[in-house]
A and B are shown apart, each in its own frame.
Chain A
């Protein structure tokens, strides 16, 4: 990618395997978070769907969901939700992004839902300029390995 920025030491947990996947909940209407190429018809998440909040980008780890007998459908909260999966290794290839677990986040709807034991964050955004941050959001949205897994 050529996106090289020195990362902070706490932005990645190396114990999380590269071949684990991260589930990101999106919406395809009200609000729409899927961009469409008007010429090719290709659909992909808007890069805005990966804009971090103060903590990072909220995701769920596939291996932890499976440990608790949960799947992609358990991540959705509304009928218009969809779920995309990103391999951890592909996220890490967009330096300095990394992944850390963030189980049982507070101040969110359905705090007690069992999916929240698998909650994690894409981190590494601190210190990036607006342009650097947006290039990484764009790189996440354009990952060839991103997969629509629900519905």
Chain B
């Protein structure tokens, strides 16, 4: 069964209000036979953009696919004691991605964290920008240059644009480098 999160979880992102029935897929069939009893509901999001954000549908689709893959992870997804990704982490992640990226941005790579958080990363020519969002939704940015020296290390507040400006600048620079191939 699929459970769509039933409220907006980030600025600029709204969700389908009604739960829909997923297609029955192979995993559902395996769950039915291998795990007797009702299986845990799948969690999914759908990002709905405002008219002004129409040029970001590609980014919304990318984020949606990555987030929904992480929301499908259950307890112990790392083969150890990892926890499922939290809705708080997902909400902050979506808010941050749309605050940091524009229609020319390189989209981030997404990674689940064992505490139920999310990490997004950009890597271009040895430079890196990494943002950790913990299970409660608190974010921290860390950037390194080509030599591995730390050039940014600070907490981030998704709704306080002044904390995000340095990261926006780094993401923009990395995006330009990626586009130019240098």
Task: Tell whether, in the assembled complex, residue A25 and residue B121 are in contact, meaning their CB atoms are under 8 Å apart.
Answer: no
Number of B interface residues at 8 Å Cβ cutoff, please give it: 41
Task: Tell whether, in the assembled complex, residue B124 and residue A38 are in contact, meaning their CB atoms are under 8 Å apart.
Answer: yes
Task: Tell whether, in the assembled complex, residue B140 and residue A131 are in contact, meaning their CB atoms are under 8 Å apart.
Answer: yes
Task: Tell whether, in the assembled complex, residue B119 and residue A37 are in contact, meaning their CB atoms are under 8 Å apart.
Answer: no
Task: Tell whether, in the assembled complex, residue B142 and residue A31 are in contact, meaning their CB atoms are under 8 Å apart.
Answer: no
Number of A interface residues at 8 Å Cβ cutoff, please give it: 33
Task: Tell whether, in the assembled complex, residue B78 and residue A135 are in contact, meaning their CB atoms are under 8 Å apart.
Answer: no
Q: Do A35 and B123 contact each other (CB < 8 Å), given the known contacts A77-B79, A109-B76?
A: yes
Residues of chain B within 8 A of A53, CB atoms compared: 80-82, 114-115
Interface stretch of the complex, out of A10-18, A39-47, A66-74, A93-101: A39-47
Indicate which residue in A27, A30, A39, A78 contacts B177 across the interface (CB closer than 8 Å): A39
Total A-B contacts with CB atoms under 8 angstroms apart: 100
Min CB gap B114→A, angstroms: 6
Task: Tell whether, in the assembled complex, residue B79 and residue A31 are in contact, meaning their CB atoms are under 8 Å apart.
Answer: no
Task: Tell whether, in the assembled complex, residue A39 and residue B115 are in contact, meaning their CB atoms are under 8 Å apart.
Answer: no
Give B83's nearest chain A residue, CB to CB.
A53
Residues from 116 to 151 in A contacting B, C-beta threshold 8 Å = 130-131, 134-135, 138, 142
Task: Tell whether, in the assembled complex, residue B125 and residue A35 are in contact, meaning their CB atoms are under 8 Å apart.
Answer: no
Min CB gap A51→B, angstroms: 5
Residues of chain A within 8 A of B113, CB atoms compared: 48, 51
Residues of chain B within 8 A of A138, CB atoms compared: 128, 130, 142, 144
CA of A40 to CA of B154, assembled, Å: 27
**B71-108 contact mask (Cβ, 8 Å, vs A): 1 or 0:** 01100111111100000000000000000000000100
* Chain B residues within CB distance 8 Å of chain A: 69-70, 72-73, 76-82, 106, 109-115, 117, 119, 121, 123-126, 128, 130, 132, 140, 142, 144, 148, 150, 153-155, 177-178, 181-182
> Would you list 19 pairs from A and B whose C-beta atoms are within 8 A, ordered by A residue?
A35-B109, A36-B123, A37-B124, A39-B178, A40-B125, A42-B123, A46-B121, A47-B119, A47-B130, A47-B142, A48-B132, A49-B111, A51-B119, A51-B132, A53-B80, A108-B81, A134-B132, A134-B153, A142-B148
